[in-house]
Structures are given as structure tokens and as C-alpha cells.
Amino acid sequence: MKKELIELKVNGRSHELAIEPSALLLDVLRGDLELTGSKRGCDESSCGACTVLVDGAAMMSCTLLAASCQEREITTIEGVSEHGSLAAIQKAYGDWGGAQCGFCTPGFIMTVKSLLAENPDPSEADVRMALSSNLCRCTGYSQMYEAIRSAIAAEQHSALSSTGGSTGSAND
């Protein structure tokens, strides 16, 4: 099939790409853009390892046509680290054992990102339900809950110290 030219906006950058109309977003991210953080774990839209944000909503990039994603903002795991340092959720996943083999981790982090964007202070049940889009075979999910709680606390703390600058420094 003849390739078509599309424009894809990924992690804030626009890319002009020649792709087959049947190309899946996951394959374009991993192949054409070499953003291999999103993983392929299954072939039937079940495992969530390929989860990315499309206009802020978590979606499975293995189930989207790349050409359908034009004019939409795509965020992948590579777009999560901020200013050259780990985002709170990434740091917390490392500290609390939320990642073992790490293959499912990018997908989980994207799912958590979208959860926290919508609901900054989720209940335990909210977290459990949100994570149920993604499968993990290593952790039994438990340590992820601790990581997420700790990331929320870290975010709240940094939000406090950035808004209340003077009181923050008084604590040092």
C-alpha cells in the first residue's frame, strides 16, 4: 500500500511522517519515531503495556491507527520526565518496588498520569479500578499502590512548597 504523509504531534513536537494507512500508532511510535518506551505485550488490546495519552485520555496505542491521531496531542512515557529529572511518579515507582521487570511500567505510569490528572486525590478503590486497565505479572500490584500514594504525597508537598515559598524555606 502506498504510504501517506501525516503529521503527528508527540510529546509537544510535531513530526511529518510517511506511513501506511494501516500503521498502528504503537508501531509508528516505536519504529518511525524510535520511542520504544511504549511496549507491545499482546495483540488483542488487553494488556495495557502500550498505553499513551491522547488529548490527555489514556488509550492503547496498539489499538489506534496512527493516521487517526493527527491533530491530537500524544504523550508517551518519554514525555513524562520533567526538565531532565524523574517525575514524582517515576521516582516513586523505583523507590517502592512498583517496577520489577519494568515491561509494563511505562503503560502503568501513563494510566496513573491520567488518573491523577482527573482525580488528584484518588481513594484506594479508585486507584485499584484505574490500574485494572493494565496487566502486570511481577508485582501483584501491591507495591504500585504504595508508590502512587507516595507520589501523590510528594506532589502535594512540592505544590505546597512552591505556592507558599517563604513558609517552605522556614522549614529547612
* Shortest distance, position 166 Cβ to another protein, whole Å: 27
Select the residue interacting with another protein from 11, 17, 73, 91 (CB under 8 A).
91
Q: Which of 24, 110, 115 is nearest to 59 (CA)?
A: 110
Segments in 96-141 forming alpha helices (H): 105-118, 124-131
Q: Least distance from C-beta 151 to another protein, angstroms? A: 11
Buried b or exposed e, range 133-156, using 16+ CB within 10 angstroms = bbbbeebebebbbebbebbbebbe
Contact between 75 and another protein by CB under 8 A: the answer reads no
Q: Per CB under 8 A, does 61 bind another protein?
A: no
Give the CA-trace dihedral at 47, 53, 54, 59, to 10 degrees. 20
Q: Which is nearer to another protein, 57 or 160 (CB)?
A: 57
Q: Could you tell me the smallest distance in angstroms from the CB atom of residue 152 to another protein? A: 16
Q: How far is the CB of 21 from another protein (least distance, A)?
A: 4
167 is a contact residue toward another protein (CB under 8 A): no
